[in-house]
Amino acid sequence: MNVGVAIIIFVVVFAIATYINNINKQAKKDAGVMASFADLHLTKTHVIQGDPRTGLKKPVSGLVARVEDSGTINQRLTATRLATMGPFALAAPKKVDNREVYLTIEGIGVSIVRMVPMKKDPTAGSLARSFASMVNTLSKGPAPVGEKVQAFTVTLADAGPEPKTTAALLAQLMPDLSKDELHRLVTHTPAVLEGAVESARVERIRSLLEMFGAKVTATAVGIITTQPPAAPDANPAAS
């Protein structure tokens, strides 16, 4: 193959790749995509799997996303490095990142898991966490009035290494409880915290408490219908 043919092939391949990239960008723009991870795309109202325009859509309301990773960063010596660097290769072993990032999105009738090796994309961890954070933020929007949603009972399975800290956090979440009631909750686990609440409330409790080592579980208990907020008194008593 002569140089001229190689250049023509390179130009054609580059042009095709650029064309496909521009199509994908336009598709995301048309669909209102705010963030992407693997083949998942997030808009203000939906998580889309696959093509942003024609892929499977799941309403973001009520979804809960989390990120986990597995594996370790190992050091290894390759034959090539040993051959080229000699004894100096022992002082500068090559790092191989074997970690994998897992993004999990769950909700009523929804269970999505995507894995990306850190070796393939070193930014996968930060991208996954950013995507999950945006999903959790958008999912907390109130469900439409009259919509049927899954209800959960929230249980404190373990108060963690610092029960006093957990009690202080519970005081923020449930300000109507007395100190004695808070103490009883963290010293007599498992303890039911709330019943028949929506998934957004579950996520708020879980994310706050588990950040400090406590363990929270949620059990589906049935379907509830969202209610409109209480209307203000239209005829307040005259002062």
pLDDT of residue 41: 92
Which domains are assigned to the chain?
Answer: 32-73+82-139 (2.30.29), 148-225 (3.30.1390.10)
Going residue by residue through the chain, which has 239 residues, state the pLDDT in tens, using 9 for 90 and above: 577 777 777 777 777 767 666 666 676 776 678 888 989 998 888 999 988 888 899 998 888 988 887 765 454 445 554 555 555 555 555 566 678 889 999 988 889 999 988 888 888 887 888 788 888 877 876 555 666 667 888 999 999 999 999 998 898 888 888 899 999 999 999 999 988 777 778 887 887 888 788 999 988 877 766 665 555 444 544 44
Q: What is the pLDDT of residue 121?
A: 81
Looking at residue 137, its pLDDT comes to: 75
Alpha helices (H) along the chain: 3-31, 79-85, 124-139, 163-173, 179-187, 199-210
Residues in the chain: 239
* pLDDT value of position 149: 67
- Cα angle for residues 114, 116, 118 (degrees, 5° grid): 150
Beta bridge partners of 107: 110
Quick one: tokens of 73?
A: 């960063």
The radius of gyration of the chain from alpha carbons, rounded to an integer in Å, stands at: 26
pLDDT for residue 146: 64
| pLDDT value for 135 | 86
